[in-house]
Amino acid sequence: MDQRITELDRNNKPVSLYGEFTLTGNRKVRYGVSLTERDLIVQRLPSTHAWRNRLVLNLKDCVGCRAYRDSDSPDPAAYLTAYFYPLRRRLVSSGATRQRVEQCFRLAALQEPCANLEVAEMWAGAVRERAAQQHLRDGGSKRTLPLPFRMMLLVNPQSGKGQALSLYNQHIRPMLKEAGIPHTLIITERQNHARELVREADLSQWDAVVIMSGDGLLFEVINGLLERPDWEEAIRTPLGILPGGSGNALAASIHHYSGGLPASSEDLLVSCGFLLCKGIVSHVDLVSIHFPSSPRLFSFLSLAWGFVADVDIESEKYRHVGAARFTLGTLVRLVSLRIYKGKLSYLPVTEDSVSSEGLTNNVTLRCNNQAPSGQRPPSSDSLCENSFHNSCHSNNGLKARRTEARTCRNANKPLSSPPDSVLPPLDQPLPRNWVVVPEEDFVLMLAMYQSHLAEDLMAAPGATLNDGVIHLFYVKAGISRAALLNLFLAMEKGAHMTTSCQYLVHVKVLALRLEPSSAKGVITVDGEVVDYGPVQAEVHRGLARLITG
């Protein structure tokens, strides 16, 4: 029996589909199932106590729903299964984690097997459609990938503790199947395999390129895309990240932006898998990084020198402990705390350079379709979208354009990928509107463009996906070991800026230059070691796209 009714649910929302089914395991007990705009409500019948024996599943938590029947069976019944990942409180520690809930119903009201299957399919379609619309109900305006989307999934089997493949089989493969998302699994064979692959791939075959590893594999993919002759189109490919490494900072940032309480390892993986299935796409900032003698790179997370870079690299040997390698590395490096000498300069964010919408010079340049001479202007279609478009015509946009006209043009060799707008060549002096940090003795320099430096380190709590801002932190020499340890402990909750530590400085910048003076040292970009020596960086607001939720 399947009927439409107009009763109101608990939240006074009209029920738009109602049916009475049994569960697959127990055909004796019947359930009234209601689908509203927001929930799937399962009520055991008879419902003498209206609010008892009732399960309300929020469609926001639903990744998929399917209808099927056993064609070999004489039983005319069809089945309907919906998959939810609601947040549940952790029993042993604080916070919440997503836990899988499967609801499976048997539909046997009609004699004809095909008719039962048709009803089940109608239900499955309605559940999927409403689940996909939930982010719009909250006023969301972001783009969603059309379901099902075609996904290239790159897994680094060596990342983290070497368990990425088994984590994929345990959590991700079943979840993608439930969500009806077809994917092609590619297991990377060596460093730079993914980079070469995306550089050559026919991207028209894919709606999304997703990596399962640490941050290092996404670094390869982004740089591979920007090395293509068609970089402008290629970098618009929605990218995704599933934490399978030891440094899962971007995954932790995405989880944090989605409103999730701190999560690690498999809890974080399930959360990111869930967000991936939802397929909501946002713009994400990239930062171009220049070196004296090697090609420019693009970074999505961080540029580090001093303490943080040393810990990242020295902790490689503790890889077997997973994400805890950074805690261990921090303690070891604290014992042999060092001072790093160099010159640090930056172009601060001003009201002129970033409007209330976060419009930077870069975006203005692109919307204006002006590019430094010899460089190809990006198409207005690819870069003037959504809020950016409006900003281009605002007063702030005009002001930013005037500011741009005063700043120096990039005189580097013509680049095939996106032009920089505020950086002079690395061997040229900086313009007068740059700030030179008076100190030359540091314990660390850390430039962050997303919130998390590691699963449990919220280094830049104020960072958002595409604000067009680099959060530059530096710690001056003179800080005690105890005070530095305190900073890192406070960073777990993103509270280090509230410790009033006089050695820690935070400034929002559009670009920076670092000129280390010691002959040897380590600089990392997104956790990967790069050439040691002078380096400079500039933010490119919203250049790439990321599946975020």
Q: Which of 159, 330, 410, 451 binds ligand ADP (CB under 6 A)?
A: 159
Of the candidates 438, 425, 393, the one whose C-alpha atom is nearest the C-alpha of residue 513 is: 425
Q: Cβ neighbours of residue 536 under 8 Å, at least 6 residues apart?
A: 289, 290, 423, 426, 511, 512, 513, 514
Query: Using the rule CB under 5 A, is 527 a contact of Mg ion?
Result: yes
Residue 404 near ligand ADP by CB under 6 A:
no
The single residue of 39, 61, 207, 215 carrying the catalytic annotation is 215
Q: Give the residue with the Cβ less far from ligand ADP, 271 or 391.
A: 271
Cis peptide before 46 (omega within 30 of 0): yes
Pair 352, 400: CB distance under 8 Å: yes
- From Mg ion, ligand ADP, none, interface partner of 44 (C-beta below 5 to 8 A by class): none
Give the shortest CB-191-to-Mg ion separation in angstroms: 11
Site for Mg ion in 197-226 (CB under 5 A): 214, 216
Token readout for 294 is 């090697």
State the binding partner of 160 from Mg ion, ligand ADP, none, CB within 5 to 8 A by kind: ligand ADP
* CA distance linking residue 393 with residue 390, whole number of Å: 6
Indicate the residue among 247 and 378 with the shorter CB distance to ligand ADP.
Answer: 247
Site for ligand ADP in 180-199 (CB under 6 A): 188-191, 193
Total residues in contact with Mg ion, by rule CB under 5 A? 4
- What is the 3 state secondary structure string of 7-51? CECCCCCEEEEEEEEEECCCCCCEEEEEEECCEEEEEECCCCCCC
Nearest distance from C-beta of residue 246 to ligand ADP, angstroms: 4
18 contacts: CB under 8 Å, gap ≥ 6: 2, 3, 4, 5, 7, 32, 33, 34, 35
And the tokens for 392?
């281009």
215 is catalytic: yes
Distance separating alpha carbons of residues 413 and 373, to the nearest angstrom: 11
Q: Give the nearer residue to ligand ADP in terms of CB position, either 323 or 349.
A: 323
Does 214 contact ligand ADP by CB under 6 A? Answer: yes
Whats the size of the chain, residue-wise? 549
Reduced to 3 states, what is the DSSP secondary structure of residue 285?
Answer: strand
Residue 158 C-beta: closest distance to ligand ADP, Å: 4
Per-position b or e across 391-421, b if 16+ CB within 10 A of its CB:
bbeeebbebbbebbeebbbbebeebebbbbb
The reply on whether position 420 binds ligand ADP by CB under 6 A is no
Q: Give me the 241-280 binding string for ligand ADP, x by CB under 6 A, dash otherwise.
A: ----xxx---------------------------------
Site track 4-23 with ligand ADP (rule: CB under 6 A), x = hit: --------------------
Sketch the per residue contact string, 524 through 543, with ligand ADP: x for CB under 6 A, - otherwise: ---xx---------------
H or E, element range at 132? helix 113-137
Q: Which residue is nearest to ligand ADP (CB)?
A: 214
List 34, 81, 116, 158, residue binding ligand ADP (CB under 6 A): 158
Closer residue to ligand ADP in complex, CB, 194/354: 194
329 is an interface residue for Mg ion by CB under 5 A: no
Cα 211 to Cα 221: distance, rounded to the nearest angstrom: 8
What residue type is assigned to position 443 of the chain? V
Q: Which residues bind ligand ADP (CB under 6 A)?
A: 156-160, 188-191, 193, 213-217, 220, 245-247, 527-528
Q: What are the residue numbers of the active site?
A: 215
Q: Which residues bind Mg ion (CB under 5 A)?
A: 214, 216, 247, 527
